Amino acid sequence: VSLLPNGGEIGLFIATPGAANIQPRIDGAKDTLKAHPNIKYDVVATGAAVAAELTAINSWAQGHSSAKGMFAVDAGSTQGLAQTIQKQGLKAKGWVGGGYDLTPITEQLLHAGYIEFTIDQQPYLQGFLPILELYLLQVS
């Protein structure tokens, strides 16, 4: 919301709607945007294959030239929207973007300033350390 102080239209991209790991993310974004009627959004299912995600995002951006940005809730869509912003020169038109997960391409395009943020999941901290803690609890 803070990236769009004057509102506008945005795209929200999700690879697989209904998936337990990413549906809550887009639901949270939609719930937040309800309180900001000056920001209109389209939810677009992009599919789980990176090439198809990029195609869907490119198509959406071409068809919504007056939009102000794009945001995603999965790795492939985040990478795809960053690539689209770069390829179509949307940064120069004031577009903003961001998403989830950290692929090497997303990291490069974030560093180059094509998107404003990405949320890294820190799988080591989310997975290994909690299991280690449970193991240590059991053996101590």
In angstroms, the CA 118 to CA 103 distance is: 10
The predicted structure's pLDDT at residue 127: 79
| pLDDT at 91 (0 to 100) | 97
The DSSP H or E segment spanning 139 is helix 129-139
- The Cα 17–Cα 78 span in angstroms is 15
Span 74-83, average pLDDT = 98
pTM for the full model? 0.87
Query: Does the pLDDT value for residue 124 go beyond 80?
Result: no
| pLDDT given for residue 18 in this prediction | 97
Got the DSSP string for 27-83? HHHHHHHHT-TTEEEEEEE--SSHHHHHHHHHHHHHH-TT--EEEESSHHHHHHHHH
The per-type count for the chain, helices as H runs and strands as E runs, is 6, 5
Residue where the block lists tokens 């940064």: 91
Inform me whether the pLDDT recorded for 9 exceeds 90: yes
Confidence of residue 71 (pLDDT cuts 50, 70, 90): very high
| Cα angle, residue 41 at apex, residues 90 and 121 outer, rounded to 5° | 75
Q: Write down the pLDDT at residue 58.
A: 98
